[in-house]
Structure 1
Amino acid sequence: IAILYEPNPDAGYVVGVDVGRGWVRSAVANLAGHIIARNDKPNDAQSASGLVELISHLARDVVAHAGLSWSQVVHAVIGTPGVFDEQSKRVLFSSNLPDWGRHGLLTELRAAFGLSLSLENDANLAALGERSFGWGSSTSTFVYITIGTGVGMGIVMNGALYRGARGAAGEIGFLPFGLDEVLEESGKISDTYLGMFEEATSAEAIVRQAQKLGLPASLSPRQIFDAAQQGDSKALAVVEQEGYRLALAIAVITAVLDPALIVLGGGIGQRGELLLPPLERRLQQLTPLRPRIVASKLGDDSVLLGSIATALEVAHDLVFQYYVNSNNSNNGNSTSSMAPGQS
């Protein structure tokens, strides 16, 4: 007879953290996935060590605010730009976070948190957040493209995250793109072959293009999109170009992966009401393969929700193993009874 186990929702808790260049976000949830508390703070850290301190304090504050003790946390997942390399234990391609790719970072994080912890690419977590709570819950094969400070993509194939041979699947910021044109815009020569698509479509590119068309240099991407929404012709031209450029990458992605759905997120990708019309017009000119394209309905929370969903998968296994070990210990077997997540 098979015995089914369902964990007590309050048998343990998980912490999710979203680390971005501008903001860090953290939340704590029980084993049923109910978020009990969360907090967001500006990322004012000036170094990798400062950022470790910032996110560990933020996570501990959130847990305390929920009325919980830190020892009740089973597992934490930290979402970060870049690719975590299992062999070197380093975060690669995280240029938007100063010194975040140095050796020893994971050890420092685990020491600061003092519990079971894992690092994951933020776009991957955003895709998993969409799979659990957003548009991706209705299809098994889709991609999540984030456009903001950086550009990246999370890929869900047949219901599971696709990572590639080195965990770098979805690093579309490195796609080649109009080399001479982008170099002329950005003025960057030293990294000619690195991050060309990101250089062409990120928040920084939006600001550059707006200045080129005569808009004030002080405008942020959000303000440029707001101006476009109010009908400003120059701002509309910036948005039109952004949609066209995104369409070029989406045409390639669609030909290679054939997703049923493409979800756009990040500070720029969320502005679907403005981006989607020029993007879809251009896509019609480029390819007969046109998946459904939507803006994320999770807003700024997609990475955070993905980190919670991922932490829950690990926590359920840890709690179950703790339960089995405790039973073995009670039956006289010599098995460790360390609490789940304790390190």
Structure 2
Amino acid sequence: MNSRPATGAGSQGGPQVAQPWNRQRLRSNNEWLLLEHLRTGGAASRAQLARDTGLSKPTVSTALAMLARAGLVREAGLLAPERGRVAVLYEPDPQAGHVLGVDIGRAWLRVAVADLAGRIVARRDVPNRGRSANAVADAVVAAAREATEEAGLRPAEVVHAAIGSPGVWDESKGRVQYAGNLPGWGRRGLFERIAAGLETGISVHNDANLAALGEYADGVGAGSRVFVYLLIGTGLGMGVVMGGELQPGAGGAAGEIGLLPMAGGARTLEDTAAAESVVRSARELGMRGTLTAKRVFAAARSGDPAAQAAVLREAEQLAFAVAVVAAVLDPDLVVLGGGLGHGADLLIGPLEQELHRLTPLRPRLAASMLGDEAVLRGALATALLGARPEVFERRTAAAG
């Protein structure tokens, strides 16, 4: 099971060099160069590819023929210039392979199948009703199999599955650590169970890290030099992207800000700033009935004084977290995401005020653009990073 953390949104995989040099490897590198150029630059003709890559026209023609024979590129139409001959345009064939993205949360399990262009072709979002770790793992497999079947694929046709989970993946022990919100989730063998059910290679990643990658690639984080994503839900996590690269830390635990002890050490930041703390504060301030963080925020929008006070308390706790992050990382942007990210319209104003009181360091604050999609989008992007070179190697080897 491949379970290494993602290297970042801007990473490019490529064919692994088995020898210092030989003619077959040189051809393979040329083919990969053309395929990646078409993927990142859009459809192009032979002449355009020769100009853009510096390869000779005969080399481009030979490489394109090989890529087409391998099912990696296809014709995308014709280019009819005012002068000169009509040229065939080529593009990567997105159907050459598929990947699976999985977001495992305490409340919801989200699964999507995407082609090599990143287009989602099937999806399942199901409530997480598992009462044991095995039940949750089996529910993930069931949802993934349903999505795979809907996409018209066999499980073996999915090249790779990237799984977002609370906690930190421990490669040496083969299990997740620090995932207290999912009881039993740290048990050894759990992800082997998932891999066997999915019948494909998997990688396991921290959910906040994946959310940061998703938000950087497709959301409000795009273009930021140092970008921090706060995942605020049943737990509290953080993903950091610098220069387009995820920063997981030496052991993958960078961003586990929820473990930060508060004054006196009896509680952690997660205890005082995650969703349950909002509910606890609302009860302490006089709200009654069945409460959830979502209901507290809705009541605050309706003008309930106790709910508004609970939201203000939450903003103050988050301001402390942002002040710590600002002092260590100096980010240009901090994004509020996760379940409580939906309340960013109520949180950002008082959070900024408290932050200004605590520190002269003042990063820009913003609500997540992707919302509940961030982890899943990051999972798909991460799966594609590994799948594209793997599909290339498989298909070019088979095509000879």
Report if TM-score (shorter chain) is over 0.5: yes
Displacement of 1:66 after TM fit?
A: 2.2
In the alignment, is the contact (CA less than 8 A) between 1:145 and 1:153 conserved in 2? yes
Query: How do 1:96-115 and structure 2 match up within 5 A?
Result: 96-115=181-200
Distance in 2 (alpha carbons) for counterparts of 1:74 and 1:205: 41
In the alignment, which residue of structure 2 is the partner of 1:170? Answer: 255
Please say if 1:316 is aligned against 2:388.
yes
Please say if 1:282 is aligned against 2:354.
yes
Distance in 1 (alpha carbons) for counterparts of 2:227 and 2:328: 12
Query: How do 1:129-168 and structure 2 match up within 5 A?
Result: 129-168=214-253
Tell me the amino acid that sits aligned with residue 348 of structure 2: L
Displacement of 1:217 after TM fit?
A: 4.2
Structure index of larger Rg? 2
Worse-superposed segment, 101-110 or 298-307: 101-110
Query: How do 1:236-315 and structure 2 match up within 5 A?
Result: 236-315=308-387
Three-state SS of the structure 2 residue aligned to 1:154 is strand
In the alignment, which residue of structure 2 is the partner of 1:229? Answer: 301
Worse-superposed segment, 300-309 or 101-110: 101-110
How big is the alpha-carbon RMSD for the aligned residues of Structure 1 and Structure 2?
A: 1.4
In the alignment, is the contact (CA less than 8 A) between 2:112 and 2:121 conserved in 1? yes
In the alignment, is the contact (CA less than 8 A) between 2:114 and 2:380 conserved in 1? yes
Displacement of 1:323 after TM fit?
A: 2.7
Displacement of 1:169 after TM fit?
A: 0.1
Worse-superposed segment, 87-96 or 1-10: 1-10
Displacement of 1:120 after TM fit?
A: 0.5
Tell me the amino acid that sits aligned with residue 72 of structure 1: E
**Gap regions ≥5 residues in structure 2:** 1-26, 37-71, 73-92
In the alignment, is the contact (CA less than 8 A) between 1:149 and 1:203 conserved in 2? yes
Query: How do 1:64-83 and structure 2 match up within 5 A?
Result: 64-83=149-168
Three-state SS of the structure 2 residue aligned to 1:128 is helix
In the alignment, which residue of structure 2 is the partner of 1:117? Answer: 202
Three-state SS of the structure 1 residue aligned to 2:122 is strand
**What do residues 153-181 of structure 1 show as CA deviations (whole Å, max 9, x unaligned)?**
0111111000111110000001122337x
Identity over aligned residues, as a percent? 49
Count of matched residue pairs: 315
Please say if 1:12 is aligned against 2:101.
no
| TM-score scaled by length of structure 2 | 0.76
Distance in 1 (alpha carbons) for counterparts of 2:332 and 2:122: 34
Question: Which of 107, 128, 148 is residue 43 of structure 1 equivalent to?
Answer: 128
- Displaced runs of 4+ in structure 1, greater than 4 A? none
In the alignment, is the contact (CA less than 8 A) between 1:145 and 1:151 conserved in 2? yes
Three-state SS of the structure 2 residue aligned to 1:16 is strand
In the alignment, is the contact (CA less than 8 A) between 1:77 and 1:118 conserved in 2? yes
In the alignment, which residue of structure 1 is the partner of 2:49? Answer: none
Three-state SS of the structure 2 residue aligned to 1:10 is helix
Distance in 2 (alpha carbons) for counterparts of 1:44 and 1:156: 33
**What do residues 222-262 of structure 1 show as CA deviations (whole Å, max 9, x unaligned)?**
01000101111111111111101100110110111011111
In the alignment, which residue of structure 2 is the partner of 1:25? Answer: 110
**Gap regions ≥5 residues in structure 1:** 181-191, 331-343
| TM-score scaled by length of structure 1 | 0.89
